[in-house]
Amino acid sequence: MKAILAHLFSWVFLPLFMPTYGILLAMYIPSTPNDLSQVSMYLLLPEMKTRLFLLFFLFSAVAPGLSFLALHQKKVISTIDIENQRERNIPLLVMMAYSLVLFLLFFVKAPDAALPIAFYALPLSGFIVTSIFMGINRWIKISLHAGGAGILVGFLFAFYLEQQSFATWILPVTILASGLTISARLYLNKHRPIEVYTGWTLAVLITFFTHYFYLQCV
């Protein structure tokens, strides 16, 4: 039973899904920005929310996922969840590329912070996190699952601090989800403790401060 739950948590909290979860929570849970000149994610028109979500989901989850399937079919990677440390560079490059393309797409098509900051800062965070993870992967098999969970937590904490009002219960729930993800990877013996804790901590800090500094620049 424990093994089944561990596998379930690993799939529900796949790294590719975590930024999308953050976007959904920010768009559909009531919130009010501290700076009323900023565009509110919650108050976006429904059709705009749908278009932005689909675009975000396409580049952050669907396209990388299909790319991983293609790499698996061509035997570039031996497993879809990229368990082999030596096989991770190309998949990480793929994730970096899609994150950068998504950031540039929003930056070019909607300049001057025409959209909520999250649509720029979250893809940029993904690019920076995967870049650093690719470097660290030379020494340890840093956990991508923990990194994805850290991105979600770092984003929601940064988002919370930018709001006059936001559902505070979201924060402990996301931390709990992180704990379940990390516990699942350790239980399945996919990673050592240093690999999951390093991945989570770096992703939280990078994502949080990317949002903070991006907000200061607009």
Q: What is the mean pLDDT of each run of 10 residues along the chain (218 residues)?
A: 80 90 94 80 91 93 92 84 82 93 91 84 95 92 93 94 89 93 90 93 96 79
Q: Tell which phi-psi region holds residue 28, choosing left (phi > 0), alpha (psi between -120 and 50) or beta.
A: alpha
| pLDDT on residue 218 | 65
Domain segments of the chain as ranges? 2-217
DSSP H stretches of helix in the chain: 2-12, 18-28, 46-57, 63-73, 89-109, 118-136, 144-161, 170-187, 193-217
Q: How far from 57 is each of 50, 61, 111, 186, CA to CA, in Å? A: 10, 5, 20, 28
Residue 55, pLDDT score:
93
